Structure 1
């Protein structure tokens, strides 16, 4: 399977039309059709559903699209790294959860860019499960994850910032007049909780001295990123268990209620042990350490 074929395949997937894709690629339509037919024979599966008006991906086609994008991204990164011997350049790929601790990484990258303007970044936002999966697959270089996380198999740095755990509620909801959330109140709330499954989100049993037991919460749904979940909180439909100081929560229509007694959580930056970094990633890690020392 050639890289050129993968590029052709992605063009067809993007344009959803063989003729339009051929125009974008500056090849003839019969040539492109033949290439895609050869690819299907090589893989032994059907990649497209062809109609008179469109060329749509099958389930196998969608899986190949994801893999092809990853392969070409890694190829491009390798070419960038190998072609920049004299000057620090290249891309730093960061996966991160939603936390104010991200400011430490952005400050470090901003300083790095001032000294090495040819360094760029790719940012991916997700919960700890999603970010760690991308780290394992080599799709990010660094993972910023909200604790608790298992970092035994990674090299990592613990960040000094700690996030306050609490519940986001609509200002005009029945909970909007509270100042804090006790264990007794928490079990009465209709909650949206993080979709994390690999790692437990917060140890509420220990926090509540056993008053909040597993399965006792009134969980009405889950969320990955808090933005859309906050809309349900605004409407008064649910309350969102999460952390404070996120941009999506800075609105008069929402209130953040800290847990009582207070509960905080930390964050770590992790990367694969024994990984050979690109010059850009080495420079970023060095700058990150310097930023933390300051």
Structure 2
């Protein structure tokens, strides 16, 4: 059985499109059609029902899908026998959120290059919501973000968390000040990440839980831009604290103590376990290790509980 034909079949089934499968495998749509036709001839049955709007697996197609996925997994395991880091090659498309860009991304990229020089990384930075869409649609191989991705065969590994907090210009919020109530902070203009992001959601949930009316919120996608706005005195910010640690350490920004705590920002590594290549699996493993290393070494002022990482990094689960 030609595994390339099975790979084409699996990607068409997952993405629901001959065109999308062709883009994923970097071949022509005609080549995808020929491979599916060859499989249908080999098994003497139709694998897909086609109409003007969509394609669907037939009964026999659904039966074959499980076998095809297992055969591809066995093929990957067999090809890994006796291979070293320098001999492993492939392209891995990675999507990351802003928090990771400003914390452990560079160290992670360097480690991948050192251990697996044959792996080519293609990087993009988006919101968690957008990364979920891209992973499900096959546009990404690996997503480093904040929430488990719901989808068939997607593996999500919790990789620790980073403390979330309030940050203000040091001239306005001196170090050592007494904790401030949420209601007092809500009177100021607040800058945070995009709607639907974990910082924005944590802020809204806290206001609802404390019965505080929704404050004036400015949603900005860039952590660098948020930091600059706060430094200029535009407002205060709700954001993961680690990306602003340089400004906090230098004394231009201070953490504003609040009487109620924000939910920490989770970190999750997600990829399609049943369709992944060896290169993707190895890069995902390094991402989990680097996230744990970073969070374990965070300074105490960022409010991180190291025991949480020890529990979180061991938690791997399948989406329903």
Give the number of aligned pairs.
210
Match status 1:245 vs 2:242 = yes
Q: Report the counterpart of residue 209 of structure 2 in structure 1.
A: 210
Q: Report the counterpart of residue 158 of structure 2 in structure 1.
A: 158
The equivalent position to 1:75 in structure 2, one of 26, 29, 52, is 26
Partner-residue secondary structure (3-state), 2:242: coil
Task: Give the TM-score normalised by the residue count of structure 2.
Answer: 0.53
CA contact (8 A) 1:101 1:267 kept: no
User: In the aligned structure 1, how far is the partner of 2:214 from the partner of 2:131?
Assistant: 28
Q: Report the counterpart of residue 37 of structure 1 in structure 2.
A: none
User: In the aligned structure 2, how far is the partner of 1:132 from the partner of 1:93?
Assistant: 13
Q: Report the counterpart of residue 117 of structure 2 in structure 1.
A: 117
CA contact (8 A) 1:205 1:212 kept: no
Q: Report the counterpart of residue 135 of structure 1 in structure 2.
A: 135
Q: Report the counterpart of residue 271 of structure 2 in structure 1.
A: 271
CA contact (8 A) 1:95 1:126 kept: yes
- How far residue 252 of structure 1 moved from its aligned partner, in angstroms, is 3.5
User: In the aligned structure 2, how far is the partner of 1:249 from the partner of 1:182?
Assistant: 26
Cα RMSD after superposing both structures: 3.7
Q: How does 1:1-294 map to 2 (within 5 A)?
A: 75=26, 87-99=87-99, 110-146=110-146, 149-153=147-151, 154-160=154-160, 162-173=161-172, 175-176=173-174, 178=177, 180-197=179-196, 201-204=200-203, 207=206, 210-213=209-212, 216-219=214-217, 221-246=218-243, 250=247, 251-257=250-256, 259-263=258-262, 264-272=264-272, 274=274, 276-288=275-287
Partner-residue secondary structure (3-state), 1:277: coil
User: In the aligned structure 1, how far is the partner of 2:201 from the partner of 2:265?
Assistant: 8
Q: Report the counterpart of residue 6 of structure 2 in structure 1.
A: none
- How far residue 248 of structure 1 moved from its aligned partner, in angstroms, is 7.7
Q: Report the counterpart of residue 32 of structure 1 in structure 2.
A: none
- How far residue 172 of structure 1 moved from its aligned partner, in angstroms, is 2.5
User: In the aligned structure 1, how far is the partner of 2:25 from the partner of 2:103?
Assistant: 27
- How far residue 227 of structure 1 moved from its aligned partner, in angstroms, is 0.9
Q: Any stretches of 5+ residues in structure 1 without a counterpart?
A: 1-70, 77-83
- Between 1:226-235 and 1:278-287, the stretch displaced more is 278-287
User: In the aligned structure 2, how far is the partner of 1:242 from the partner of 1:182?
Assistant: 17
Q: Any stretches of 5+ residues in structure 2 without a counterpart?
A: 1-21, 28-78, 293-312, 315-320
Query: Structure 1 179/92 Cα, relative in aligned 2: closer, same or farther at 3 Å?
Result: farther
Partner-residue secondary structure (3-state), 1:113: helix
Q: Write the deviation string for residues 73-124 of structure 1: whole angstroms up to 9, x where unpaired.
A: 9639xxxxxxx99831122222111335986676565444333211122222
